[in-house]
Amino acid sequence: MTEQRLSGRVAIVTGAGSCGPGWGNGRATAVLFARAGATVAIADRDGAAAEETAELIRAEGGNCIVAELDVLDLEATEALAARCLESFGRIDILHCNVGQGLRGGPLEMSVDQFRAQLDINVTSVFIGCKAVLPAMIGQGKGAINTVGSIGGLRHLGHDHIGYSSGKAALVQFTRQIAAQYGRQGIRANTIIPGMIDTPLLQERVVKSGHRGDLAALQEEARRRVPLGHRGTAWDVAHAALYLASDDARYVTGTELLVDGGFMTQTV
Ligand SMILES: NC(=O)c1ccc[n+]([C@@H]2O[C@H](COP(=O)([O-])OP(=O)(O)OC[C@H]3O[C@@H](n4cnc5c(N)ncnc54)[C@H](O)[C@@H]3O)[C@@H](O)[C@H]2O)c1
Inside any domain, residue 264 = no
Whether residue 29 has its Cβ less than 6 Å from ligand 1: no
Inside any domain, residue 262 = no
Q: What is the pLDDT of residues 204-236, one digit of tens each?
A: 766 665 456 778 888 889 999 999 999 999 999
Q: What is the set of active-site residues?
A: 163
Inside any domain, residue 108 = yes
Residues facing 193 on adjacent strands? 258
Inside any domain, residue 5 = no
Provide the pLDDT for residue 5: 97
Inside any domain, residue 216 = no
- The CATH number for 20's domain is 3.40.50.720
> Percent of the chain at pLDDT above 90?
87
Inside any domain, residue 16 = yes
**What domain count does the chain have?**
1
Give the residue-averaged pLDDT of 243-248.
98
Q: Quick check: 99 and 121 in contact, CB under 8 A?
A: yes
Of ligand 1's atoms, which has the minimum distance to the CA of residue 20?
20
Whether residue 146 has its Cβ less than 6 Å from ligand 1: no
Whole-number Å distance between alpha carbons of 232 and 192: 13
Residue 112 pLDDT > 60:
yes
Inside any domain, residue 267 = no
Inside any domain, residue 74 = yes
Q: Quick check: 174 and 166 in contact, CB under 8 A?
A: no
Q: Is the pTM of this model over 0.85?
A: yes
Least confident of 178-187, 213-222, 248-257: 213-222
Of ligand 1's atoms, which has the minimum distance to the CA of residue 150?
6
**From ligand 1's centre to the CA of 86, what distance in Å?**
28
Whether residue 118 has its Cβ less than 6 Å from ligand 1: no
Q: What is the pLDDT of residues 123-150, one digit of tens each?
A: 999 999 999 999 999 999 999 999 999 9
Whole-number Å distance between alpha carbons of 236 and 256: 10
Give me the domain span that covers residue 40.
10-195+232-257
Query: DSSP code of 104?
Result: B
Whole-number Å distance between alpha carbons of 214 and 238: 24
